[in-house]
Amino acid sequence: MDETHDTSGSPGPSHQRLFFALWPSDAERRALARWRDALPKLRGRFVPAGNLHMTLAFAGSVDAVTRDCLVQRAADVRGEPCTVQLDRLGRFSRGLMWVGPQTCPAPLATLARSLSGVLADCGLEPDSRPFHAHVTLARAMRTRLPDAAAPNHVWRLDRFCLVCSRPGQGYEVLRTFPLGIQTLGSLSMDSGSME
């Protein structure tokens, strides 16, 4: 479920590479990066602190009509706020080091399923693999996982975001969707580049 798994190539000039994500606070991301940076003898490409996030559903390269559909459908998603405990350290193939919850909270799994439904409603094909809640910490790791306890950080899930991935330029949060009881006007527009 990491947006780097897409192999469809770079988006065209009228397309954007989009995904839904849990985008924590700056303080939460910095704390996780500090923990990772203190691990001994890690060799790989560290994900910058400002880019740490949890992908919930990957849309891929989409045109403006599909983007607008994603925004409209996501605004109807109702979810339950919860906390996500990052207490498991792991490694995927291709040297991807990640941290995530030992047990995925039910509200998080439900939100990921709902956002896969949003993709389908907008004519996209959701990832067929089961949702695996994780935050990518490093890529192209050339060392084994460190013999260290997971950070046991807690992230608050009270909103999710639609994010644009700009290869070589970082991420931009396009829209934030609060969870829980939503009132008219609760949908906010966030525009901020993440390097």
Beta-sheet strands, E only, within 111-187: 135-139, 153-157, 159-166, 170-178
Q: Which residues contact 27 (CB under 8 A, 6 or more apart)?
A: none
Annotated catalytic residue, options 5, 15, 53, 153:
53
Q: What gap in Å lies between CA 78 and CA 182, rounded to an integer?
A: 8
Specify whether 53 is catalytic. Answer: yes
Residue closest to 44 by CA, chosen among 10, 1, 91, 89: 91
Locate all alpha helices (DSSP H) within 38-179, ordered by sequence.
64-75, 106-121
Number of helical (H) and strand (E) elements in the chain, helices listed first? 3, 11
> What CA–CA distances, in Å, run from 57 to 81, 120, 162?
18, 11, 10
Annotated catalytic residue, options 5, 15, 134, 153:
134
Q: Report residue 172 as tokens.
A: 């931009």
Specify whether 5 is catalytic. Answer: no
- List residues with catalytic annotation: 53, 134
